[in-house]
Amino acid sequence: MKTLILILVLCLMPLALFAQTQTATWALTWQDTNTTHQGFNIERRLGQTGTFAKIGTSGPTVKAYNDVIANDPGNTTYCYRVAAYNTAGQSPYSNIACGTSPVVTVPPVNPPTGVTVAVTVTVTTQSAVPAAAAAAPQKAKGK
């Protein structure tokens, strides 16, 4: 009787968990209702109730601003406001505009590497001669 044992081992190199980051670009636009301004101050706050902080300025003829937030985790709300300014001071703030960044999940782009296969084969054989016959003493012939 022959016994064939086949052991298949699939080894994957440890896979690093792919960290995913996203960059959110917020495009702000506004209408210019001033004629004596020198530019605009742009402010942002985190969430509906955070504190506003100045994130940029634009020139007097620019009515748009792109706020690029690297490593945005998604599902994050940012609110913006704009004010015109000149040498005499700043106008009152605009209305507050808010938005929430989406969570975007993408599949890993790199395939697994280092895939190996190891096969172990064990063969067991048994003698065809019965155990009693194999153990019996043999008589010498021809004497």
pLDDT digits (tens, 9 = 90+) for 67-117: 999 989 889 999 999 999 999 999 999 999 999 998 888 777 787 788 877
**pTM score > 0.75 for this model?**
no
CATH fold for the domain made of 22-100: Immunoglobulin-like (2.60.40)
Say which residue, 135 or 120, is predicted with more confidence: 120
Q: Name residues whose C-beta falls within 8 Å of residue 54's C-beta, 6 or more positions apart in sequence.
A: 41, 42, 43
What's the rounded Cα separation, in Å, for the pair 70 and 80? 17
Q: Name residues whose C-beta falls within 8 Å of residue 8's C-beta, 6 or more positions apart in sequence.
A: 117, 118, 119
pLDDT at residue 44 greater than cutoff 80: yes
Q: Name residues whose C-beta falls within 8 Å of residue 21's C-beta, 6 or more positions apart in sequence.
A: 70, 71, 72
